[in-house]
Amino acid sequence: MNERNVDPANWREICADYHQVTSYDRATLEEIWEERSYDRDNRPETYLSYPDALARVPLGQPEPPPAAPDLWAVLRNRRSKRDYLDQPLSLAELNLLLWATQGITGDLGDYQLRTAPSSGALYPIETFLFVQRVEGLEPGLYHLDVKAWELEALRHEPLEQISTTACEVALDQEHARRAGVNFLWTAVMERCRRKYYERAWRYVWWDSGHIAENLHLAATALGLGSVSMGAWYDRQAHEVLGIDGVEHFTTLMASVGKIGGEDWRADRRIEEG
């Protein structure tokens, strides 16, 4: 792990520095950018894949259910939900969730556009999954190959083991253990930094937020429960994923699972009780 030697006691100053150094200032921006350039033809690779994956699961064309609620009902009904049933998601449901977050919906030749917006259309965010209860998928750690639209199995593990890892990574939040699947989003920094320099350290978080909201809206439309998780152990997550935590690091988590009913008030007790 390639961590910098900083004193955590100075977090206020360090965070203020980060905010300041990633701010745009009319007085200086033009001058700074005169010395910078971005060559789209020589940009970093947009698509990550694991050629040595244990198995590849083609996802195919996602098929929305025939009777989906309209957007306004989905917006009205979205609520964070954590009280998951011990029932699997179908692979078709997972496919729709993945498509809502990262699906390619436009092709401009040398780059593609997706369901969720991305700063500069650079798409620095990768999707890893703790697959726990999904029909047709062995439990384990997976990565989404966006271009091939396949899941890559990086590790198969018994349900209890992968669920425990997910729960531990997510600061011991029990709903992560009981989820059908936990999403863990990461940023490949150079994709965004090559163009946006310091500002990229803001964009990757915003990109992740856009992706996560698409997940929640799709989950709501499918009658599934979902919740974002900003609380996770970064270092443990990086170790689990085998990424360095500096050039490639985690940006957000979310759980999804089957739920019993619509009573979100009862569900909130899990968080608060």
Pairing of strands 125-131, 248-258: unpaired
Closest to ligand FMN by CB, 262 or 271: 271
Closest residue to ligand FMN, judged by C-beta, is: 230
Closest to ligand FMN by CB, 80 or 164: 80
Closest to ligand FMN by CB, 187 or 229: 229
Closest to ligand FMN by CB, 57 or 218: 218
- The residues facing 186 across adjacent strands are 126, 250
Binding site for ligand FMN (CB under 6 A): 79-80, 82, 173, 227-231, 271
Nearest distance in Å: CB 233, ligand FMN: 12
Nearest distance in Å: CB 175, ligand FMN: 7
Taking the C-alpha atoms of residue 218 and residue 68, their distance in angstroms, rounded to an integer, is 10
Nearest distance in Å: CB 90, ligand FMN: 24
Closest to ligand FMN by CB, 80 or 112: 80
Nearest distance in Å: CB 111, ligand FMN: 28
Closest to ligand FMN by CB, 190 or 213: 213
Rg (CA), the chain: 19
Closest to ligand FMN by CB, 127 or 228: 228
Taking the C-alpha atoms of residue 77 and residue 11, their distance in angstroms, rounded to an integer, is 38
The two structure tokens encoding residue 226: 């979902």
Closest to ligand FMN by CB, 146 or 227: 227
Torsion sign over Cα 30, 32, 37, 38: negative
Nearest distance in Å: CB 219, ligand FMN: 12
Nearest distance in Å: CB 82, ligand FMN: 6
Nearest distance in Å: CB 73, ligand FMN: 15
Nearest distance in Å: CB 9, ligand FMN: 24
